[in-house]
Structure 1
Amino acid sequence: MILHLSNRLLKSLTPNRLINKLLLSLLFFFSVQALSNSFKFAKYAGDFLSIGVGARALGMGGAFTSVANDITAGYWNPAGLTELSSAQLILMHDERFAGIVNYDYLGFAPKPADFFSFAFSIIRIGVEDIPYTNDAFFDTNGNGIFDPNIDRLDPDRISFVSSADWIFITSFARNIKEKFSLGGNIKFIYRKIEKNSGIGIGFDLGLKYKLQNFSIGAVIKDVTSTLIAWNTGRNEIVVPSLTLGISREFEILWGKFTPSLDLITRFEGRNKTALVGTNFISFDFNAGFEYSFKDKISVRSGFTENKEFTLGAGLKINRLDIDYSFAKFDSELGNTHRVSLKFSIN
């Protein structure tokens, strides 16, 4: 049913209708985020959705919105899926903060059809052995509130719990013109910590335009706002965000050099953490580059919105791409290593 509706939607997007739909989407986008600010929800609920996938893209600092041209486009910019020339399968493992957080990603895209492309992605973020201290402190005042100046914890009464976030993404894309493509995502989210769980569904919209050696990309994530409803009665909302990206390919020393820049706009009042921000809107950026020697060996580097420096490298052996990236965090958080394996299938 979803495939049938998606196919009808993609076929209906003629250039004239496309412009109208994009204008309506942008109008709806700003209306939704304005409404979301009139309700009280947990802020920054979507942080776990913005970690990124693929060691190649992460080695470039996540500046991949305009570059996205492989299976990971299903996450970064679904419009880029039209550039696949074969089916692809990718696996990634990421140990963040010196192994405290385990982050895994699986993606598959069948060979693109003549009029549309599809991809399916699964992301899991897990943290084990989280100390649970609600029942472990001596309540000196008997008020049920932990007072660090008076109360103390009983180590024998501390229990340990785990948390897991699951994200299931179905992506589709279509070439509207020879150099212009449009794509979208449907995301199902399941979150669980101890005995509590939450579910949500969200939608992304992306486009990509190629002009000679330039590539321009744009993505609206959580375009209708993504509500995550917990069984505790608490709700979290992921408000829309807009990312604009630009990149250019240069032929240098028997290879390709691709610098890339993403500008990220959010509407969560990140005035204290963003590069530029107010109580309503904030701006950040990701920047990076990739140099690929004869499409066999690649080196990468970048700088992320979280002020991380990243490094990466890649090796292509026949139909197998092996990619690695490294991110340096604050010394107290440790470093992050990511490895991904990408298989191209006839």
Structure 2
Amino acid sequence: MIAFFLITIPTLIYTQAFRNYSNEFINIGVDARGLGMSKSIVATTNDVNSIYWNPAGLVGIKDYQGSLMHASYFAGIANYNHAAFAMPVDQQSSVGISIIRFGVDDILNTTELIDSQGNIDFNRIQLFSSVDYAFNLAYARNLPFRDLKLGVNAKIVRRIIGDFASSWGFGFDIGLQFERNNWYFGLMARDITTTFNSWSVNDDEFNKIKNAIPGQNQQAPESTEITKPKLQLGVAKNWRIGRFFNLLTELDLNVRFAKTNDILSSNFASIDPAAGFQIDYDNLVYLRSGIGNFQYITEFDNSKSLSLQPNFGVGFKYNGIQIDYALTNIGSVGNALFSNIFSVTIDYSFFRR
């Protein structure tokens, strides 16, 4: 229990005007298809999951679509879930809504385990959850310029740490897609107005853990945090191989405006490249792979080594139902265990035939 607070509370303590890393659960990604391709789908996404990857892709849907995803995080300690729904408004525009939940449930609260007389009473142990939510509302439209699409995503962020602290946040994303001669280009700007989170701390509950560990006094977090904008740029090409096979390749550049351990980094911005591949048989069976998360790791002798993250996935689509699987490290950190990701997408247009 104490270890949990040592991890959780410092993430709030050092909240300043701008954060290089804030609301990171939103950056995990959704949909096994995208995760299997190392998130390299900003230029080609065209279904209900475009709400997350690039809302401009929503223009590609022709009828009602729904999507569900589940993943376990840290060997089942946390759960990550996503649900989305989208529909066309007319021939030129579409709307969509989605929710992401990332949470650790049934955490033991032992702050009242020992009473004022020094007696241990296990009946005083309570359970609580640390949960993050992101609600997204997206709108996409074809622009007058041929083959150019625009999408906007408004998001509300809700973060809850039991009775100790909670926050509300809001922000906007904007995306563009352009297609010409089987070439695809995409731009996704996240948190373009910065995403603002306002924290509220329960002083009575926080004081119970303030001096939980001698010499490790915990300070109350700042009341606000502002997330810096991020950019994702992608270029893709669709190749026809024979009569039944198609090969989709995409290269993305993920840009943060901060100095990080990414393979290309400066005081102004850092760039993490990623590449994804998908081969399909007659748009029925899919095999995917990707590589990304290139990071410099500092070893014990202060030398640096370059690490990378491979990803794999498969998919199957039949009668309007698509089932996808990905093997990926959704934590995107070091030697964390790889996770099994499953997602289901349903296209109602098939059932209207």
TM-score band w.r.t. shorter chain? 0.7 to 0.9
Match of 1:260 in 2: 250
Cα drift, residue 335 of structure 1: 1.9
Give the 3 Å change call, closer, same or farther, for CA 324–214 of structure 1 in structure 2: same
- CA 1:332–1:243: 2 relative to 1, 3 Å: closer
**Distance (Å, rounded) in 2 between the aligned partners of 1:129 and 1:304:** 33
1:274: which partner in 2? 262
Q: After superposition, where does 1:169-318 map in structure 2 within 5 Å? A: 169-176=136-143, 177-195=145-163, 196-232=165-201, 233-253=222-242, 254-270=244-260, 273-305=261-293, 307-318=308-319
Within 5 Å, which residues of 2 pair with 1:161-172? Answer: 161-172=128-139
CA positional deviation for 1:255: 1.5
3-state SS of 1:305 partner:
strand
How far the C-alpha of 1:160 sits from its partner, in A, is: 5.1
Go from structure 1 to structure 2 and tell me whether the alpha carbon gap of 1:133 and 1:284 turns closer, same or farther (over 3 Å shift): farther
Aligned residues of 1:163 and 1:192 also touching (Cα < 8 A) = yes
Q: Within 1, Cα distance between the matches of 2:122 and 2:77?
A: 21
CA distance in 2, matches of 1:235, 1:330: 26
| Distance (Å, rounded) in 1 between the aligned partners of 2:270 and 2:110 | 35
TM-score, normalisation: structure 1: 0.78
Q: Which residue of 2 aligns with 1:345?
A: 348
- Structure 1 gaps, min length 5: 1-38, 138-153
Q: Does 1:95 align with 2:45?
A: no
Change (3 A) 1:95 1:256: same
SS at match of 2:51: helix
Shift, 1:268, TM fit = 3.0
Task: Report the CA distance between 1:308 and its aligned residue.
Answer: 2.3
- C-alpha change, 1:257 and 1:84, in structure 2 (3 Å) is same
Question: 1:89, 1:343 within 8 Å by CA — same for their partners in 2?
Answer: yes
Percent sequence identity over aligned pairs: 35
Q: SS of the counterpart of 2:38?
A: coil
Secondary structure of the equivalent of 2:48? coil
Cα distance in 2 between the residues matched to 1:106 and 1:218: 23
Count of aligned positions: 292
**8 Å contact kept, 2:18–2:228:** no
**For residue 18 of structure 1, what is the aligned residue in structure 2?**
none
Contact 1:85-1:112 within 8 A present in 2 as well: no
> What letter is aligned with 1:334?
L
In the other structure, the counterpart of 1:125 is: 102
CA contact (8 A) 2:133 2:158 kept: yes
Superposition RMSD in Å: 2.5
Q: Distance in 2 between matches of 1:178 and 1:96?
A: 42
Shift of 1:130: 4.0
Following superposition, the deviation at residue 300 of structure 1 comes to 0.3
Distance (Å, rounded) in 1 between the aligned partners of 2:124 and 2:19: 30
Matches within 5 A, 1:80-119: 80-119=57-96
Quick check: 1:322 aligned with 2:323? yes
Conserved? CA contact 1:41–1:235, under 8 Å:
no
Deviates more, 1:335-344 or 1:302-311: 302-311
Q: Would the alpha carbon gap of residues 206 and 42 (structure 1) be closer, same or farther in structure 2, given more than 3 Å must change?
A: closer
Task: Report if the CA contact (8 A) 2:17-2:226 is conserved.
Answer: no
Instruction: Give the Cα–Cα distance (whole angstroms) in 2 for the partners of residues 265 and 207 of structure 1.
Output: 16
Task: Give the TM-score normalised by the residue count of structure 2.
Answer: 0.77
